[in-house]
Chain A
């Protein structure tokens, strides 16, 4: 099955904003400031896969301080008190929340995987036969955070290179 992707950068940015408003920056004092730099560095990342009516991956990547800060915000703890287990859990949940919201915008018949977390830079990840179609890249309190969508080539008319 081949579908046009129906989720664009603005949709993704809106979902990300909701996550910040709900959990990471409820006071509205440190939003994610977009840099539009798709090559910004990361130290950790998490992802969920979507298969079915659309096939690809949603990837959340950030620096380690940003990951600690996110886990701290989730758990109402100081970032340096966060355990590695909670850090991984929070990263997975970030990919899961955004992935779930992306899935809701896709045609019926898409399945979401459980999240995968890798405490290594996004640059170490390989998504076979997939390419990045859109993303939100920004700085959160001085630290890099990005959320990107990778589409499997077999599922994308533009993918036949």
Chain B
């Protein structure tokens, strides 16, 4: 499977990649986007199977990126990996079609719990 990791922090993208490996998902193809607009463009161009997105990013936020994708008819599996988590954000994410909400700091166990059912 192909997984797109969208985060404006390169350091955090590296941590997400390392944690995916630690959780046993290192064999998947991983591609990276540095902001929400890139996430939309790369999702449309590269058709990943799953998008892991930060919330607060320049250009487009993660939730805006998800809404744009859905408005364009793209139903890629999409979820958030973010330092922010409030009930209102979770509601917005769910309403926009997000599958999961992982809060930073996260652990490999948390990744396994969320991604095992999705990635098998």
- Cβ distance B6 to chain A, nearest Cβ, rounded Å: 15
A76 touches B (CB below 8 Å):
yes
The stretch that binds B, out of A35-43, A98-106, A149-157, is A98-106
A130 touches B (CB below 8 Å):
no
Q: Are B87 and A100 in contact (CB under 8 A)?
A: no
Q: Tell me the A residues contacting B by CB distance below 8 Å.
A: 18-19, 21-23, 71, 74-76, 85-86, 89-90, 92-93, 96-101, 103-104, 108, 110, 112, 114
B88 touches A (CB below 8 Å):
yes
- Cβ distance A142 to chain B, nearest Cβ, rounded Å: 23
**Chain A residue with the shortest CB-CB distance to B19:** A22
- Cβ distance A153 to chain B, nearest Cβ, rounded Å: 25
**Chain B residue with the shortest CB-CB distance to A76:** B18
Determine the distance from Cα of A89 to Cα of B8 in the docked complex, in whole angstroms.
9
Determine the distance from Cα of A100 to Cα of B85 in the docked complex, in whole angstroms.
7
CB-CB under 8 A for A92 and B9, given A22-B106, A112-B56, A112-B84? yes
**Chain A residue with the shortest CB-CB distance to B13:** A89
Q: Are B12 and A93 in contact (CB under 8 A)?
A: yes
Determine the distance from Cα of A108 to Cα of B87 in the docked complex, in whole angstroms.
8
